[in-house]
């Protein structure tokens, strides 16, 4: 028998999933309830690279450039741009009709004020664009001139952790005048801040006047749709409570799942585990190189000599599925930045040689202070391992444990710590790791003219191919000076997601625009 279908029936069949009796529709008034493990110490995007800040701020603020799914810098608030023949002067023309959350039209004055403050106070601005100042050309155009050509300029402007957020000039002026962090968070992004109760929750709500780019969504770039009305970040520091909330469906998304028990979620109804395909973090021990016992490079080298990387990472992350052992500052899929040049210095586990080096150093029996928080369970475990390793090589230590905001605060003063375990999210270029460059003034205070010089040489190279031998040299110098010890990298954390939440993506953190909640 010949079967005839109407156009309406064909259309209905096209939009219905197989086996579904009726189409799902997007609930524009939906709320995303998120269980998040760590509390931000500040929401000022210029002052921190911490995930707890950037994961929220990327939904509030926009930048001149951002990155696509290939980690390439592409325009966001910029409509078009040009670079002078000497490769030193950039000129940016802004997009038309962009308004801040307070209704004010975006102009060049806002960009100049925002970028000049970011250049002055952020680790990325100070280290990677020294001497740069933005200037206004006209109401829609800004420019700046580099002291020398740089391969990484647009990557730095597109930084996803030390976000070069564009804010109204009046807010920047207030922050500059008071010399305090920005507290009024007003951007141009798809969501605006509704309420923040430190330590408890943060509430974002849709910005209905948002003007999206029209290119297809890719990474953090392109079209952004605020498909849910409200987003609540609930700060749940106890990981067992987050796990229980995922199992019961109390939360729509659950981050920082406990690795020991993550397999129990496979049997939970109406729940799936999202595994990001790229990203992750460098796993490191950060030293205070400014003062205290580890200001002596020989003691840093002794600690490195003693480490058994596999056992250390297993103690921290419990299962090899959650980490990769690797000495490189770059990630393997970052072909231009990956290097194994530091491998001879890594994972040596030579206790006798380490003890001899302790004796040859200037160590006089002082107590090493290891600073840690239980809010990051893996890093707390690594801190305990550090204490055990130090004991094995004859170095005294104590473990100071605080909540995460207090760790961030105390870490700013080199008198407060000697060692801590830290993760550094994957960055587009090596220059964006603030522990390398002395000019970044990152906690621990690196001071290696040789490393600074190689970083500059990479920036000034005519091409990435020409820079590759310098990347090898940088990795070798890093292992000799030891601003940090790179143990390896994390595999990106899985996220528990309820079955009616669609379109979630992750690129060095959650991408919550273009996410929708469906209803039948």
pLDDT tens digit string along 342-378? 999 999 999 999 999 999 999 999 999 999 999 888 9
Q: Which long-range contacts (CB under 8 A, 24 or more apart) does 239-245 make?
A: 239/37, 239/377, 241/35, 242/35, 242/37, 245/35
Of 117, 109, 111, the closest CA to residue 45 belongs to: 117
Of 377, 324, 372, 371, the closest CA to residue 346 belongs to: 324
Residues of the chain with CATH 3.10.105.10: 281-490
Beta strand 323-325 with 368-372 is unpaired
Q: Using one digit for the tens of pLDDT, what is the confidence trace for 251-284?
A: 999 999 888 788 888 888 889 999 887 788 999 9
- pLDDT score recorded for residue 6: 33
Number of Cβ within 10 Å of residue 139's Cβ equals 11
Q: At what angle do helices 309-317 and 377-392 cross, to 10 degrees?
A: 140
Residues of the chain with CATH 3.40.190.10: 196-274+493-519
Please report, to the nearest 10 degrees, the dihedral formed by the alpha carbons of residues 333, 336, 342, 344 taken in order: 70
Q: Provide the token pair at 259.
A: 């690795």
Q: Provide the token pair at 201.
A: 């929750």
Tens of pLDDT along the chain (520 residues) come to: 333 333 333 333 333 343 343 446 888 999 999 999 999 989 999 999 889 999 999 999 999 999 999 888 999 999 999 999 999 999 999 999 999 999 999 999 999 999 999 999 998 888 889 899 999 999 999 999 999 999 999 999 999 988 999 999 999 999 999 999 998 999 999 999 999 999 999 999 999 999 999 999 999 999 999 999 999 999 999 989 999 999 999 999 999 988 878 888 888 888 999 988 778 899 999 999 999 999 999 999 999 999 999 999 999 998 898 999 999 999 988 888 999 999 999 999 999 999 999 999 999 999 999 999 998 889 999 999 999 999 999 999 999 999 988 998 999 999 999 999 999 988 889 998 999 989 888 999 999 999 999 999 999 998 889 999 999 999 999 999 999 999 999 998 889 999 999 999 999 899 999 999 998 5
Cα 310 to Cα 224, 391, 488: the distances in Å are 41, 19, 9
Handedness of CA 150, 155, 161, 162 (dihedral sign): positive
- pLDDT score recorded for residue 14: 36
Cα 103 to Cα 140, 156, 194: the distances in Å are 17, 28, 15
DSSP-derived 3-state class of residue 429: coil
Residues with Cβ within 8 Å of residue 453, at least 6 apart in sequence: none
Give the CATH class of 60-173.
alpha beta
Given a contact cutoff of 8 angstroms between Cβ atoms, the answer to whether 76 and 63 are in contact is yes
Residues of the chain with CATH 3.90.76.10: 60-173
**CA triplet 292, 298, 300: central angle to 5 degrees?**
65
Q: What is the CATH number of domain 281-490?
A: 3.10.105.10
- pLDDT score recorded for residue 520: 54
Of 153, 481, 118, 154, the closest CA to residue 289 belongs to: 481
- pLDDT score recorded for residue 138: 97
DSSP-derived secondary structure letter, 218: B
Cα–Cα dist 494/274, whole Å: 5
CATH classification of 196-274+493-519, choosing from 3.40.190.10, 3.30.390.30, 1.20.1340.10, 3.50.50.60? 3.40.190.10
Cα–Cα dist 7/301, whole Å: 73
- pLDDT score recorded for residue 268: 86
Cα 364 to Cα 179, 350, 398, 481: the distances in Å are 40, 21, 16, 21
- pLDDT score recorded for residue 519: 81
Q: Provide the token pair at 234.
A: 């609930």
């Amino acid at each position: 028998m010949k079967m005839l279908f109407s156009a309406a029936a064909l259309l209905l069949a096209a939009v219905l999933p197989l086996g579904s009796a009726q189409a799902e529709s997007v609930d524009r008034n939906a709320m995303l309830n998120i269980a998040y493990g760590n509390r931000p110490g500040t929401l000022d995007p210029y002052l921190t690279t911490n995930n707890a800040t950037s994961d929220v701020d990327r939904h509030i603020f926009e930048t001149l450039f951002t990155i696509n799914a290939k980690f390439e810098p592409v325009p966001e608030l910029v409509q078009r741009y040009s670079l002078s023949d000497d490769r030193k002067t950039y000129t940016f023309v802004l997009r038309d009709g962009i308004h801040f959350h307070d209704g004010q039209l975006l102009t060049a004055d806002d960009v100049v004020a925002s970028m000049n403050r970011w250049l002055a106070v952020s680790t990325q601005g100070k280290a990677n664009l020294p001497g740069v100042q933005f200037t206004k050309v006209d109401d829609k155009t800004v420019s700046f001139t580099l002291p020398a050509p740089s391969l990484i300029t647009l990557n730095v402007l597109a930084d996803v952790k030390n976000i070069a957020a564009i804010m109204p000039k009046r807010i920047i002026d207030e922050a500059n005048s008071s010399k305090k962090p920005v507290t009024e968070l007003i951007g141009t992004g798809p969501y605006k801040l509704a309420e923040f109760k430190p330590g408890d929750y943060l509430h974002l709500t849709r910005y209905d006047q948002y003007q999206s780019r029209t290119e297809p969504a890719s990474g953090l770039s392109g079209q952004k749709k605020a498909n849910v009305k409200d987003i609540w970040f609930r700060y749940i520091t106890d990981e067992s409570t987050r796990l229980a909330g995922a199992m019961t469906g109390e939360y729509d998304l659950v981050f920082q799942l406990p690795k020991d028990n993550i397999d129990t979620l496979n049997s939970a109804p109406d729940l799936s585990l999202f595994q990001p395909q790229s990203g992750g973090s460098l796993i490191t021990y950060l030293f205070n190189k400014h003062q205290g016992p580890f200001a002596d490079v020989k003691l840093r080298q002794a600690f490195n000599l003693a480490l058994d990387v596999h056992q250390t990472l297993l103690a921290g992350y419990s299962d090899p599925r959650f980490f990769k052992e690797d000495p490189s500052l770059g990630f393997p899929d970052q072909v231009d930045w990956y290097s194994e040049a530091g491998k001879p210095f890594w994972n040596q586990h030579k206790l006798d040689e380490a003890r001899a080096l302790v004796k040859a150093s200037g160590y006089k029996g002082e107590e090493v202070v290891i600073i840690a928080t239980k809010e990051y369970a893996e890093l707390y475990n690594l801190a305990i391992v550090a204490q055990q390793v130090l004991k094995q090589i004859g170095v005294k230590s104590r473990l100071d444990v605080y909540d995460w905001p207090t760790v961030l605060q105390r870490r700013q003063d080199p008198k407060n710590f000697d060692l801590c375990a830290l993760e550094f999210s994957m960055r587009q270029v090596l220059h964006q790791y603030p522990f390398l460059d002395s000019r970044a003034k990152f906690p621990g205070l690196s001071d290696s003219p040789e490393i600074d010089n190689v970083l500059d040489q990479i920036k000034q190279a005519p091409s990435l191919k020409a820079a590759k031998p310098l990347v090898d040299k940088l990795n070798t110098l890093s292992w000799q000076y030891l601003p940090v010890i790179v143990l390896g990298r994390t595999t990106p954390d899985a996220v528990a997601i309820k079955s009616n939440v669609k379109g979630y993506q992750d690129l060095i953190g959650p991408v919550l625009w273009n996410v929708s909640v469906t209803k039948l």
